[in-house]
Amino acid sequence: MPLLGLFFLLWEIAPRLGWLNRIFFPPLSEVLVAWWALLASGVLIEHIGISLQRAAIGFALGVVVAIPLGLLMGRYSLFEKVSDLLVQTLRNTSQFALLPVFILLLGIGEESKVAITFYSSVFFLLVNTISGVKSVDPLLIKAARSMGTSDFDLFRKVILPASIPSIVAGARLAVKSSLFAVIGAEMLAAKSGLGFLIQNSQLMMETADMYAGILTLTVIGLTVNYLLVWFERWATAWKGQSETSLI
């Protein structure tokens, strides 16, 4: 917190003392005034809602695809060997390099923005799910098998709960990547959203509005990150309870 406070203090002082060009880097107080004006007019809320909707849809699709696929790839080595080359090829292709492809195939509407958001998030979730499955204690699996547990119940009651920490870690990266992707897409081909607000403000030399949009994006990213940290603690509370009961 002290370092953050010092950063904000320098942000306020540096433009006023002429250390930075006030046109391109306005004082923090002016940015906050612009932020409040955007909020009060409803413009900021509208852009936030549009960007979050796009990011949420893409991220949700990533969860639906990546977690089941990751569970299968992590559990069945033959399936992983068959699919790994395709996954690695796609994973190492930049999402922004594929944005023109998405636009050509899906147009400049919502579909292309959701597609690039999905593409940006799915591989973080997939890789971490695979890692989480492979790190499950083999003794837990053997114990479940010895009691006649079916494959479905093994995934549901043993593998998935034990993989939650790794999956949530992947989700934290995926959320950030999906937000970055949707902002980038909005800067290039959109007429709404935070990315459009930031880009349009820069083009119109409304730099206070531009920094207000950037600050808003930062706050959203921090909020989502801490919500996922809380979810990880809640979802893995059973680990602490089991350790306590053992002691």
pLDDT tens-place string over residues 158-185: 888 888 888 888 888 898 889 889 998 8
Distance, in Å, from the CA atom of 137 to the CA atom of 154, rounded to the nearest integer, reads 13
Report whether pLDDT(112) > 80: yes
Structure tokens of 230?
A: 């809380």
Distance, in Å, from the CA atom of 45 to the CA atom of 39, rounded to the nearest integer, reads 6
- pTM score of the predicted model: 0.83
Residue 79 sits at φ, ψ, to 5 deg, of -65, -40
Report whether pLDDT(199) > 80: yes
Helices of type H across 92-159: 95-106, 110-134, 138-146, 151-154
Report whether pLDDT(245) > 60: no
> How many residues comprise the chain?
247
Q: Give the pLDDT confidence score for residue 216 in this predicted structure.
A: 93
Q: Give the pLDDT confidence score for residue 56 in this predicted structure.
A: 92
Domain boundaries, the chain: 42-135+164-236
CA torsion, ordered 52, 53, 54, 58, to nearest 10 deg: 100
Distance, in Å, from the CA atom of 16 to the CA atom of 19, rounded to the nearest integer, reads 8
Q: Are 75 and 66 in contact (CB under 8 A)?
A: no
Instruction: Report, as an integer, the average pLDDT of 225-232.
Output: 81
Report whether pLDDT(221) > 60: yes
Q: Give the pLDDT confidence score for residue 246 in this predicted structure.
A: 36
Distance, in Å, from the CA atom of 92 to the CA atom of 19, rounded to the nearest integer, reads 41
If you average pLDDT over every residue of the chain, what do you get? 87
Q: Which CATH architecture has domain 42-135+164-236?
A: Orthogonal Bundle (1.10)
pLDDT band of 143, cuts 50, 70, 90: confident
pLDDT band of 240, cuts 50, 70, 90: low
Q: Are 25 and 15 in contact (CB under 8 A)?
A: yes
Reported as a single tens digit per residue, the pLDDT across 32-69 is 999 999 999 999 999 999 999 999 999 999 999 999 99
Q: Give the pLDDT confidence score for residue 55 in this predicted structure.
A: 92
Q: Which of 29-33, 129-133, 145-149, 233-237 has the lowest mean pLDDT?
A: 233-237
